[in-house]
């Protein structure tokens, strides 16, 4: 039976609004790219990465809302085998896929746009379009492996605890204590992605600085500078997102046994907002997506006025 306080209902309402916005933003990215795929019969490398990123975030936001809904409205059902394990494996898979694919996009921008004359870098620039599908496949296989590992971990943690209804709060705390090593593993993954983003940003900044110096001496055009700046905006948004995520994940580890605390709830609400906000930044930095969005908005506004 549902037993929800006004405080819990308010938090769930906020998370629902965040999820609704994030799902529609990522659904827009996926739909636009799928339509382009059907029309052109192909997608370029950045579009492939964006498509998979949109799918990962769509799945992550949807399943995280299911987790929030069950934990708030029907907490007894969430920890019934195998509901908890199924929710957790999908949540872990989509979250890990989000981090891996977004890192691939950041590295892709760096390799594709930065100008260095090192032999290995030139080789990567030539072969990057062939490497991207394998990177994405590897990311999904790795994410699936993480999801299976989390499933087994949750299954063992839950089996080691009493699941009687009267001990549910104790079960939640014990399961969270079991998941402390898992939080550490996720933070390690986040730190690795964060490091890749930092190196990509540094390489692009150095490349942009060198290119601007050449322009000043040789009176070259600014098309490459525009490409550098657009890539830098995307990578800086990644950098900000990963920085916030890294801090938030550490706070989550500290407060992992205090689910009712205000800090934990604020962290949880904040984490649900990031996928939608960052996907919106990607839309505004992509000319094709932005053009489609601007073309759709007047139609939506007209329909609302007619109704």
| Domain architecture of the chain: domains with CATH | 1-161+170-291 (1.20.1070.10)
Long-range contacts of 221-228 (CB under 8 A, 24+ apart): 224/113, 224/115, 227/113, 228/113, 228/114, 228/204
| Per-residue pLDDT at 168 exceeds 50 | no
More confident residue, 80 or 61: 61
> E strands of 144-280, at which residues?
none
Peptide bond between residue 279 and the one before it cis (omega within 30 degrees of 0): no
Tokens of 53: 């990123």
CA atoms within 13 A on the CB side of 116: 19
| Per-residue pLDDT at 53 exceeds 60 | yes
Portion of the chain with pLDDT greater than 90, in percent: 14
CA atoms within 13 A on the CB side of 3: 4
Inter-CA distances, 87 with 33, 54, 254, Å: 28, 19, 23
Question: What is the C-alpha end-to-end distance of the chain, expressed in Å?
Answer: 39
pLDDT confidence tier of residue 255, bands split at 50, 70 and 90: low
- Rg of the chain over CA atoms, in angstroms? 22
3-state helix, strand, coil in the chain (%, to 5): 90, 0, 10
User: Please, what is the average pLDDT of the chain?
Assistant: 75
Q: What is the pLDDT of residue 2?
A: 47
């Amino acid at each position: 039976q549902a037993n929800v306080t006004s405080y819990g209902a308010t938090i769930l309402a906020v998370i629902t609004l965040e999820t609704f916005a994030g799902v529609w933003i990522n659904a827009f990215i996926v739909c636009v790219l799928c339509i382009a795929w059907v029309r052109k019969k192909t997608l370029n490398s950045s579009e492939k990465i964006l498509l998979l990123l949109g799918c990962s975030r769509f799945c992550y936001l949807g399943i995280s809302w299911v987790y929030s809904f069950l934990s708030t409205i029907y907490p007894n059902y969430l920890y019934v085998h195998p509901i908890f394990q199924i929710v957790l494996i999908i949540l872990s898979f989509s979250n890990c896929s989000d981090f891996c694919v977004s890192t691939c996009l950041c590295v892709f921008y760096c390799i594709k746009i930065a100008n260095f004359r090192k032999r290995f870098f030139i080789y990567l620039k030539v072969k990057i379009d062939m490497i991207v599908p394998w990177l994405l496949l590897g990311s999904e296989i790795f994410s699936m492996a993480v999801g299976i590992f989390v499933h087994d971990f949750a299954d063992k943690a839950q089996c080691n605890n009493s699941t009687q209804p009267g001990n549910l709060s104790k079960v939640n705390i014990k399961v969270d204590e079991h998941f402390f090593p898992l939080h550490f593993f996720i933070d390690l993954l986040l730190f690795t992605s964060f490091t890749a983003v930092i190196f990509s940003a540094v390489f692009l900044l150095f490349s942009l600085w060198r290119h601007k110096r050449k322009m000043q001496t040789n009176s070259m055009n600014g098309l490459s500078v525009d490409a550098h700046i657009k890539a830098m905006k995307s990578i800086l948004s990644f950098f900000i997102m990963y920085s916030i995520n890294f801090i938030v994940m550490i706070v989550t580890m500290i407060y992992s046994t205090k689910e009712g605390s205000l800090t934990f709830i604020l962290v949880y609400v904040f984490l649900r907002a990031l996928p939608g906000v960052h996907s919106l930044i990607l839309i505004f930095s992509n000319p094709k997506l932005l053009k489609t969005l601007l073309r759709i908005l007047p139609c939506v506004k007209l329909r609302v006025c007619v109704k």
